[in-house]
Structure 1
């Protein structure tokens, strides 16, 4: 399992410090007010003005012709691959990418696609690795149609794909007739940390999407952008998958509020992640991957505490984290304060000392 939160325990204390994921954020009072006041209509027939506004904002933000609001980021990915590919086609992505590791085999189950996992450190493959995986178009091998990257790379440690690498992957893909797709679940974390605008970060990519239910703090939703023809195809798959909504403006209003108020503050999450990593690294035997954004991966095994035991002991103290690929993942977000970070470090230190 890539993602194993502590099992529910009725005797466990209430969660006071939730570092499980940035999906754990709760809508702020101001966001709830925006949702309550949202002007709405029927999204399916294009009559929801708030959803239409959100789509226009995302298309402009990412420098694409059009965008469509979706219930989830996973549906963004699934609808995209269904729009690009036909049964038997091949998609290339990193071995730990969300479309391989965290979407329940949807791309194979629904589309019959083959996803070829590419190796590479920190959740990223090198452009030359991508080039080496390409093969001549013959009837003996699947048609290679799409390359996908995940920005940031979650299981890789929340690492940021460098712009030069993204541009080179696009260049190679276009030279070989492949479409390009960016899973932007934490794209805005990458742009805030790097100082590169979302439009520049996604330049050249045929499609890209952003998630509102993670660091941006909305309760639901993502939006995918691309050419008008591509978005028309995605809309058809959204309908087929049951993702087409009615008065979706209530949810879209939360996303608009997030774009207006919760993007620049992602830098606070990154600062808290660095503080957490710094504090953990000062505990003897705790191995920490230096964070680039809001994800901190660490292993306490060298301190004599197995990762799953550390997670369980922290849960007893009201701190929630997750095991992911043999490491502990802590995720900072807008509901985590600097004081909570200090307290969490203290709990880890106490557990190590007790061991």
Structure 2
């Protein structure tokens, strides 16, 4: 029996229509700009997020790194939320590859206080680096998939205009944010200069992300992508699935959100589980098991024994992520399994 895999929405596999598109994709050498499928994907992606141009990249991490490289120069400084994906999970690429200094700000649900952003912007001083970029993340992964409100996005955008510092959005799960808000993605991306979003998470494509922004920016980014080894020749083989993802997979993300909310509400009634079910906004939930008096590794092992896969966030925090491969009956089963683990923990105390 296949496990119920709640580790990430990256475990989704291509749909049958994606596999057909991959098989039948018209391809050419994308480094020469001659892959018709990639050209179509990039045009479609740019239109979806309201930007002039787009670039297909191998991953969200590569997309973010290319964005920073194209926005900055070595020795610049970038403002980011302290637990953003770029800071926590991209192998210090900001410093080791782009040669820029991160200036992190403590946020609440991924939102850096506007006043702290203003305070972090450097004055022109011989002793200080130049503040070259503000990075936002929507949805914010380490806050449990929380959505940055449009009002907040607009507030940060106003700051960026006032101080002439561009904004890059790590929108790996941008479409989850848009579905959660009930808006077109352009309502979000209007407040940023550039955006990266993944095709390979909830949208179920096998690989790839999109970086979008002004045409001149994408021209610079394309060269940086080449330097990082991202010139992918007949890339339409992968890009074909991305077209299907954008055309057919966005609307169904609401199902993942409903499943996550139902799972959170079910867990909230289990003794020893501490979860903010009201704070679940998209397809990701985080909760504490400290009340069970066991650590995350022990809890995850007990889940695995019963056919459920999950990831730990810290010593006592667990993350579940819903996606296309998770059904209603899976949610019910996971709740029952956690009830059993809780009861066993109570007996052993």
CA–CA distance in structure 2, aligned partners of residues 53 and 301 of structure 1 = 49
Aligned alpha-carbon RMSD (Å): 1.1
Aligned twin of 1:266:
253
Secondary structure class of the residue paired with 2:142: coil
Query: Equivalent of 2:123, from 128, 132, 136?
Result: 136
1:196 maps onto 2:183 in alignment: yes
Q: Once the 2 structures are TM-superposed, how far is the Cα of residue 307 of structure 1 from its aligned partner?
A: 2.3
Contact 2:110 2:148 in 1 (8 A): no
CA–CA distance in structure 2, aligned partners of residues 331 and 204 of structure 1 = 27
Q: Once the 2 structures are TM-superposed, how far is the Cα of residue 289 of structure 1 from its aligned partner?
A: 2.8
Query: Equivalent of 1:284, from 254, 268, 271?
Result: 271
Contact 1:41 1:246 in 2 (8 A): yes
Residues 145 and 321 from structure 1, CA distance in 2 versus in 1: closer, same or farther, beyond 3 angstroms? same
Deviations 1:258-292 (A, max 9, x none): 11111000000000000110110010120113311
Contact 2:296 2:314 in 1 (8 A): no
Secondary structure class of the residue paired with 1:287: coil
Aligned twin of 1:239:
226
CA–CA distance in structure 2, aligned partners of residues 245 and 135 of structure 1 = 38
Secondary structure class of the residue paired with 2:109: helix
CA–CA distance in structure 2, aligned partners of residues 342 and 109 of structure 1 = 45
For 1:38-53, what aligned pairs fall within 5 Å after superposition? 38-53=25-40
Aligned twin of 2:57:
70
CA–CA distance in structure 1, aligned partners of residues 285 and 29 of structure 2 = 41
CA–CA distance in structure 2, aligned partners of residues 189 and 99 of structure 1 = 19
Contact 1:23 1:214 in 2 (8 A): yes
Q: Once the 2 structures are TM-superposed, how far is the Cα of residue 15 of structure 1 from its aligned partner?
A: 5.0
Residues 141 and 154 from structure 1, CA distance in 2 versus in 1: closer, same or farther, beyond 3 angstroms? same
CA–CA distance in structure 1, aligned partners of residues 20 and 326 of structure 2 = 22
4+ residue runs over 3 A deviation: none
Contact 1:157 1:289 in 2 (8 A): no
1:309 maps onto 2:298 in alignment: yes
Q: Once the 2 structures are TM-superposed, how far is the Cα of residue 168 of structure 1 from its aligned partner?
A: 1.0
Q: Once the 2 structures are TM-superposed, how far is the Cα of residue 112 of structure 1 from its aligned partner?
A: 1.2
Deviations 1:190-219 (A, max 9, x none): 001101211111003110121011000001
Query: Equivalent of 1:343, from 321, 325, 333?
Result: 333
Aligned twin of 1:89:
76
Q: Once the 2 structures are TM-superposed, how far is the Cα of residue 179 of structure 1 from its aligned partner?
A: 1.1
Q: Tell me: higher relative CO, structure 1 or 2? Use CA pairs within 8 A at least 6 residues apart.
A: 1
CA–CA distance in structure 1, aligned partners of residues 320 and 306 of structure 2 = 15
Q: How many residues align?
A: 342
Deviations 1:84-118 (A, max 9, x none): 11111000010001110000001100121101111
Aligned twin of 1:354:
344
Query: Which runs of no fewer than 5 residues in structure 2 stay unpaired?
Result: none
For 1:75-224, what aligned pairs fall within 5 Å after superposition? 75-224=62-211
Aligned twin of 1:57:
44
CA–CA distance in structure 2, aligned partners of residues 351 and 128 of structure 1 = 44
Contact 1:15 1:320 in 2 (8 A): no
Contact 2:122 2:129 in 1 (8 A): no
Query: Which runs of no fewer than 5 residues in structure 1 stay unpaired?
Result: 1-13
Secondary structure class of the residue paired with 1:123: coil
Give the TM-score normalised by the residue count of structure 1: 0.94
Aligned twin of 1:295:
284
Contact 1:22 1:333 in 2 (8 A): yes
